[in-house]
Chains A and B, each alone.
Chain A
Amino acid sequence: MALINLTVNGQKKSLDVHPETPLLWVLRDTLALTGTKYGCGVGACGACTVHLDGQAVRSCVTPIASCAGKSVTTIEGLPLDHPLQEAWTEVDVPQCGYCQPGMIMSAAALLKQKKQVTDGDINAGLSGNLCRCGTYNRVRKAIHLAARKGGGR
């Protein structure tokens, strides 16, 4: 075990966890931030996507030791009035909802980089986020809508 200091959703945390533990399980089991989901454990589905110092990362393959001194933002840290949340509601995107936090975090990282997004940008930014229910077309529509609402904040 080792003491690891990091910031999660703006709050400083000092955690005594095994340094190899993936960030995903620290968020879910230790910090009770369960919006971030497990889907594959190998970085192949995107359900566990969070921001690490502003970059979208797969928390299931990110050892907590590599987060020391860094800032993590999870779906719970995204403001409820974020243009993506509003667009998601307006388009009524989710089906089962399990992949949606990861989708939204990937989309938020994308919109931070690019104010105007093309379909190609969305394909590139979200091709690693899998949805088994088939919400993809609504996801695409909502990201375009959020971009128009100024989603890059």
Chain B
Amino acid sequence: MKRTGINRRDFVKIVSTAGAGLVLGFYLPPQSKGLFAEPQPASFVPNVWLRIDPSGTVTITVAKSEMGQGPHTYFPMIVAEELEADWQAIKVEQAPTHPDRYGSQSTGGSTGVRTSWEKLRLAGATAREMLISAAAAKWGVNRTTCYAEKGKIFHKPTGKALAFGELAVAAAKLPVPEKPPLKSPGNFKIVGTWVPQLTTPDRSSGRAIFAGDLKVPGMLYATLARCPVFGGKAASFAAAKAEAVPGVKKVVAIDRGIAVLADSTWAALKGREALEVKWDEGPAATLSSASLHRLFAERAKQQGAVGQKEGDCEKAFAESFNKIDALYEMPFISHSPLEPMNCLADVKAGSCEIWVGSQNPQAAQTSAANILKIPKEKVTVHLTLLGGGFGRRLVNDFVEEAVKISQAAGAPVKLFWTREDDMQHDLYRPASQHVLSGAVDKSGKLLAWKHRVVAPSITGQREPGRIIGGLDKSALNCAIDMPYAIPHLLVDYVMANTAVPIGAWRSVYASQNVFVVESFLDELAALAKKDPVAFRLEMLDKTPRMKKLVETVAEKSGWRQKLPPGHGRGVACSFCFGSYAAEIAEVSLEKGRLRVHKIDVAVDCGLAVAPNTLEAQVEGAVALALTAVLKGEITFAKGRTEQGNFDAYPILTIEEMPKVAVHIVNSHEPLGGIGEPPLPPVAPAVANALFAVTGQRVRKLPIIFP
């Protein structure tokens, strides 16, 4: 495996903890909430990933956001593996937010394991080697006669042992080894095994703390009235009726709207209901789903910026044996994590303290510093557990609101978003239109492929300067560089930016493009009268990892075996975020409704470091993707989002959850991600299975049965 550059300050140094023990800032019992730890004095935090106390407790610092994908378990697994720690002695703490001490603390792009793996292994190995040296010195023996196991250093010839805790102070005084040996993967005892999550007991008992659960002295509960039209502003407001609501303490204006502050959440909500605001709705007031559809359709006729070109498409289409055209459409959809956005902010003179569940606490720190015009070091961001993220919490608009409200009110405030606030002020997954043409030759092989993607650009909306020549390559993720060998290919992109705020939604553009690509491939397989699995396998010689996964999932799912009458199977696969996934769905129509019975998922992310959370991530990807396939969409009228709650925008229920069978293939190639890669193939596998049942193609999501 390739070694990434690790500089010296990433190396662990073990600290003896006389008087310096960091108060565990995360798993506080409810009655002591709010007592988050202060960062340790600098002399006691020399870039630590782990700390060993004289008591023997091994505390591991987690510098990624825990939103259910497992860093509070896989960080410790990786460190403990190399350290040879006793798993029972492991504790975790969330890293304080720091501009650079831990590298990027952003959690997105399925990067958690793959960007932490090398440095966490080194951190554990370094500590292990120092403990061995400390024990050898104490015993006056050659260090090569000593080894680490289950929280102790043993002297092989005599069998005598010292616990890590007994060696902590001595080890801290030793030089840090430059290149500690790493364990051979064949000797892993924790990595690759099914380890229960360390967070589960708290999460199963109401003790897990989310930002919305916290309270600080003098805190007010805040709600914010925002213009319902995208980009609109308050023209004027009258606070009297809101202020008359019992419990309401203050009404303050910020750029994003008018905040009502009260002594309870309920009073703040009632106060907002009573508040009178006149909105300046701005230019987006006429925006509607119909107007967006027309815009996309118009843009689809334009020439796009070329993302990938192979061979000679025009010639191939002219000479092809059989061809087909199709238009695919994808809707806007929301993130809707179960915990709506919220943030507790306490702005004081020259400093600020924030408690938040964010996927990007460093950006929150930067934003707050910019708003308050104070140095970043004066902004303390306490990262709590996140009640779901899915990309929504990568953007800290709600943190900025809380900071501004606290500043305006001169008090600590806990900003609360209702479900309606959350659904109507989301950063939606962009809608898109796709114009495709495909051609097969006489032998039924895919000869030529044209794909025009028409979609708003997330980068184009947030950082337009980064788009050069109209090409946003990220919007073409999985539409270009497909795993298949296709002799003649042209993929282009037409940007169609709108006033609708958009953002990354688990797997981002892959979740749309893979649906389109894998559905259209299925259309071409049918055109070529070929089995959909065989049709794909023929084109996968240049991507053996994908080929193996397709073969694996076909075998495990019983692709070639008979199904009960009325049932059908569909296949789809993708490569994104460093990992391969191939999936087969089994569906039927039950009383006129699409029923997804089972999804077989084969994944190859190099090495399944934490198979328990990996399987959970696959199940989660299936659930999130199926909601996008089977349920609602976000629509707009008069510049507003039409849906506000789960009645109008339903999400998958327990009854609708299919069986999920996960088939892990460890290729031992460089690590890839797992949070996002299993998601994109779900929708096309289901749609292709539905075709197998009904003979009807699905070219538009969601699939709504009347």
Contacts and interface: CB of A to CB of B under 8 A. Distances in A.
Interface of A: 1, 18, 21-22, 25, 28-30, 32-42, 44-45, 47, 74-76, 78, 80, 85, 88-89, 92-101, 104, 122-123, 126-127, 129-140
A92 B416 CA distance: 30
Interface string B336-348: 1111100000000
A139 B579 CA distance: 28
Given A123-B654, A136-B657, 4 more contacts: A33-B206, A35-B205, A38-B212, A44-B647
A127 B654 CA distance: 6
Nearest to A42: B645
B435 to A, nearest CB: 32
13 contacts: A18-B247, A28-B265, A39-B340, A40-B645, A42-B645, A94-B197, A96-B387, A98-B337, A101-B206, A122-B654, A129-B654, A132-B627, A133-B623
A89 to B, nearest CB: 5
B419 A41 contact: yes
B199 interface: yes
A39 B339 contact: yes
B176 interface: no
Given A95-B68, A132-B624, A32 B30 contact: yes
Interface of B: 30-31, 33, 67-69, 196-197, 199-210, 212-213, 215, 221, 246-247, 264-267, 336-340, 385-390, 416, 418-420, 612, 616, 619-624, 627, 645-647, 651-655, 657, 659-660
* Residue of A41, A76, A136 most packed against chain B (CB within 10 A): A136
Contacts of A97: 68, 199, 202-204, 208, 385, 387
B620 A134 contact: yes
Contact of B67 (A30, A34, A96): A96
Contacts of A47: 338
B265 A140 contact: no
B440 to A, nearest CB: 37
A13 B417 CA distance: 29
Given A133-B623, A134-B623, A92 B387 contact: no
Contacts of A123: 653-655
A22 B197 CA distance: 34
Nearest to A142: B204
B205 A132 contact: no
B479 to A, nearest CB: 26
A12 B267 CA distance: 24
A58 B385 CA distance: 24
Contacts of A96: 67-68, 203, 337-339, 385-389
Nearest to B209: A34
B204 A89 contact: yes
* Residue of A21, A25, A104, A131 most packed against chain B (CB within 10 A): A131
Contacts of A36: 206
Contacts of B624: 132, 134
Nearest to B389: A96
Nearest to A30: B264
A38 B420 CA distance: 12
B419 A138 contact: no
A38 B659 CA distance: 29
Contacts of A139: 654
Contacts of A40: 419, 645-646
A136 B210 CA distance: 21
Contacts of A98: 210, 337-339, 387-388
Contact of B651 (A21, A32, A132, A137): A132
Contact of B206 (A74, A132, A137): A74
Given A29-B266, A89-B204, A137-B619, A38 B340 contact: yes
